[in-house]
Amino acid sequence: MVDGNAAQWDAFRSQKRSAVYTPPFAPWMITALQLAKFSIFVALHSIMLFGAAISKGIIIFLATNLSKPSHSPLETKFSKECPRAVNRDDNLHAGVHISLLLVHIVPDVVSIVQCFYRLTTIGRGQGGINIPVIFLETCRTMGFLLMFFHVFPQLDMLRALLITSCLPIIPIAQKLLMDVSRTMKDEHSLMKRFGMTLATFPSFIVFLVLTAGCYLWTVLDTQFDRYIILPLAIMLASLGFWESWVGVGHAGTFFHHLHQMKYGIRKMNAPTRLLTSTIRIFITLTVFVVTAANGKVTMKGMTGVLFHWRSTEKHWPLLIVALCLCVLHIILRISSRLLAGLELRVLSGFHPIFLTSPLLLTALVIHCHISPDCWIASKVAAVGLTFRCSQWIAAPIPFNDIYLALMWLLISMYKGYQFASQPNFDKHDEIIRATPVVMNPFASNKVFWCLSLQSVVMNRSY
């Protein structure tokens, strides 16, 4: 052991590993510390899992209520047991739009304030602006905003939840292209190339299944007419979620900076973060204005929500919920950082990426079709909202669209498990532990599909 620090192992082997090591604590103290660490792990893990599910559920609930309530063509158990006449005036209609706007715009405003503080205190010597990061974050923002403000208002909550499972389409397409490129190498024999071609069929089928989400409701007999916006939103959001397809192979390429950010080697500098947040705010406001104009949000309703802050106003709870969501995202980030700092890896089988959608799906099925909670329905009806359990009757010919949507969910769970799982190492590998860095510390749209990679302590072998 090294003199003066007997608790650490000597990496230069000045003494043998068999040297006697005396624990600095009594056994009962070590056991108590282990129990405390385990309790912290369970508490933080539960906060992340259920917090991500609550965040995603509320955002989908608000997005599906952007359009004014209408009668559902399909009577569900919820509509029979909890009939509620939902009346929404101009203030409430504008309040739903503004509350969803706040969820997206407040994190970027805080990010801009942080960037100005760092630029004024640290100085400008923080590197230049990174174009690939700005481009991909802009794609992510545009894709999610198109979903929230244009696609989800025409869907019920169940279909809105399931369409988010199509977002791994870019990583799957990347894997398919890599597999196909291997079959074209002349260094392999003809028989081996034929076998490699057959091995690409599963990835090809999975890609076709996810691609069906871009046009399924257009070809079926439904009232869905966002046949251009939906595929554009899916592609942009999937491309923008660069953490899912940037890997070790991108080191030294055009995406080298993204590779360093993903594996915690480099942080995003303040100028890039400042410009990205500014562009995101501009895009969010633009999409909001277009949606408000198409959704017939009156200027009277907008001014009533923005300037009437009395607690007796009906739209007041909507704004409170939006601000609480922003606080929840801060808590999620703090929890994930604590887990990473304590070197407590979130279990892959219980990771928010893997379990958030199944938990929400189970809750929606129970609430809409098994055991509706009329108390919750009455509370949300008071602010002009309703649970949209079915937007249209499922077409039995040629098949029910829910069956294919459930396949999207299974594929998304499989890719989410792969994304959250840790790689295996040989006992002789050198392991570099790093806590990945995210662009926006309160990024709500990253919580939408999954909790960001900040919650996974990445281990990579070099």
pTM above 0.85, yes or no: no
The pLDDT of residue 457: 31
For residue 315, being part of any structural domain is answered with yes
**CA distance linking residue 75 with residue 82, whole number of Å:** 11
Strand partners, 433: 459
| Separation CA 87–CA 272 (nearest Å) | 45
Strand-pair partners of 434: 458
Position 442 pLDDT exceeds 70: no
Instruction: Assign 448 a pLDDT band (cuts: 50, 70, 90).
Output: very low
Structural domain harbouring 233 = 48-423+437-461
- In angstroms, what is the C-alpha Rg of the chain? 25
- Secondary structure of 297-339 as H, E, C letters: CCHHHHHHHHHCCCCCCCCHHHHHHHHHHHHHHHHHHHHHHHH
Answer yes or no: is 430 within a domain. no
Q: What is the DSSP letter of 346?
A: P
Tell me the C-alpha to C-alpha distance, in Å, between residue 337 and each of 49, 330, 333, 429. Answer: 14, 11, 6, 26
98/315 Cα distance (integer angstroms): 10
For the segment 53-101, what is each residue's pLDDT rounded down to a tens digit?
999 999 999 999 888 766 555 666 777 777 766 777 778 888 888 999 9
Give the residue, 209 or 377, on which the prediction is more confident: 209
Note the pLDDT of residue 420. Answer: 81
| Cβ atoms of residues 101 and 267 within 8 Å | no
Report the domain count for the chain: 1
Could you write out the three-class secondary structure of 392-451? Answer: CCCCCCCCCHHHHHHHHHHHHHHHHHHHHCCCCCCCCCCEEEECCCCCCCCCHHHHHHCC
Confidence at 156, pLDDT banded by 50, 70, 90? confident
| pLDDT tens, residue by residue, 243-264 | 888 888 888 888 888 888 887 7
Take residue 53 and report the two structure tokens written for it: 């599910």
Residue 66: predicted pLDDT = 87
pLDDT attached to residue 256: 84
Average pLDDT, the chain: 79
Residue 41 counted as domain residue: no
Residue 184 included in any domain: yes
| Predicted pLDDT at 459 | 31
User: How far, in Å, CA of 173 to CA of 141, rounded?
Assistant: 21
Structure tokens at 349: 């089988």
Amino acid identity of residue 334, one-letter, is I
Q: At what angle do helices 27-64 and 352-365 cross, to 10 degrees?
A: 50
Q: Are 291 and 93 in contact (CB under 8 A)?
A: no
Report the C-alpha dihedral over residues 103, 108, 109, 114, rounded to 10 degrees.
130
- Selection from 319, 420, 376, 435 nearest residue 52 by Cα: 420
Whether residue 222 lies inside any domain: the answer is yes
pLDDT band (50, 70, 90) for residue 139: very high
In angstroms, the CA 444 to CA 462 distance is 33
Amino acid in position 308: H
Q: Is the peptide bond before 398 cis (omega within 30 degrees of 0)?
A: yes
Q: Which two tokens stand for residue 268?
A: 């995003």
> For residue 238, is it within any domain?
yes
Confidence of residue 436 (pLDDT cuts 50, 70, 90): very low
Is residue 85 domain-resident? yes
Instruction: Confirm whether 374 is domain-assigned.
Output: yes
3-state secondary structure of 192: helix
